């Protein structure tokens, strides 16, 4: 079986993600051009920072990733990479996205009644599992703590597997077919994060 492609578009902490994947014995590489995705077993799109960075994926990268997913190979988005799975983000209104999951990402509210919340949302927070049958959360319990750092988030939809609340609930994990995404950073989330990555590897087969 061929390797997992870790997409580098200039906005992901590739070193930490690669280290986590190698800790679970995943065969991973960073492709230099879209043509290298033709024979991969799966794709991971990481990301940190501003959604506009995903603009570098527009065109051949997006077209090839969409074709690989249509062929039935799994895709995992992490943080901004998860937001890119949706139809777009208010953080960069003119920036195209993959559109594999319905909905748009929006900025987290900094109000929770009279309380003023800190944005970005940084630190450990709990997962509230909504769909326990989704393969991406096999072995994960509701209430498990994972590490977040973000200002924008995806809405709760039928594809939401787990939610987290920071002032308001948002989608922390989504899965639609073989496309999955996590708003948190599994590479910084200890054993829970490694389990999420193992689950993705199982979907690769």
Q: Does residue 79 have an active-site annotation? A: yes
Catalytic hit among 50, 79, 91, 105: 79
Based on DSSP, count helices (H) and strands (E) in the chain, helices before strands: 4, 14
Q: CA–CA separation, 51 vs 17, rounded Å?
A: 19
Q: Which of 121, 150, 166, 185 is catalytic?
A: 185
| β-pair type (179-182, 168-176) | antiparallel
Helix 190-204 to helix 14-23 angle (10° resolution) is 70
Q: Within 10 A of 130 (CB to CB), how many other CB atoms are there?
A: 18
Q: Is residue 128 packed enough to be buried (19+ CB in 10 Å), middle (13-18) or exposed (0-12)?
A: middle
185 given a catalytic annotation = yes
Point out the catalytic residue in the list 105, 121, 166, 187.
187
Catalytic center residues = 79, 185, 187
């Amino acid at each position: 079986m061929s390797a997992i492609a870790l997409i580098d578009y200039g906005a992901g902490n590739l070193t930490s993600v690669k280290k986590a994947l190698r800790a679970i014995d995943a065969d991973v590489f960073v492709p230099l051009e879209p043509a290298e995705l033709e024979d991969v077993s799966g794709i991971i799109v990481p990301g940190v920072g501003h959604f506009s960075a995903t603009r570098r994926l527009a065109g051949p990268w997006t077209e090839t990733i969409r074709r690989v997913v249509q062929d039935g190979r799994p895709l995992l988005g992490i943080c901004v990479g998860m937001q890119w799975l949706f139809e777009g983000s208010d953080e960069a209104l003119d920036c195209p996205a993959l559109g594999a999951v319905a909905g748009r990402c929006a900025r987290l509210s900094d109000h929770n009644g009279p309380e003023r919340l800190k944005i970005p949302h940084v630190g450990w927070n709990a997962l509230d599992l909504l769909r326990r049958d989704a393969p991406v959360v096999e072995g994960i319990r509701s209430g498990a703590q994972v590490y977040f750092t973000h200002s924008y988030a995806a809405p709760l939809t039928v594809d939401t597997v787990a939610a987290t609340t920071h002032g308001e609930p948002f989608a922390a994990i989504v899965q639609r077919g073989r496309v999955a995404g996590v708003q948190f950073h599994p590479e910084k989330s200890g054993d829970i994060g490694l389990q999420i990555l193992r689950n993705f590897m199982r979907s690769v087969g």
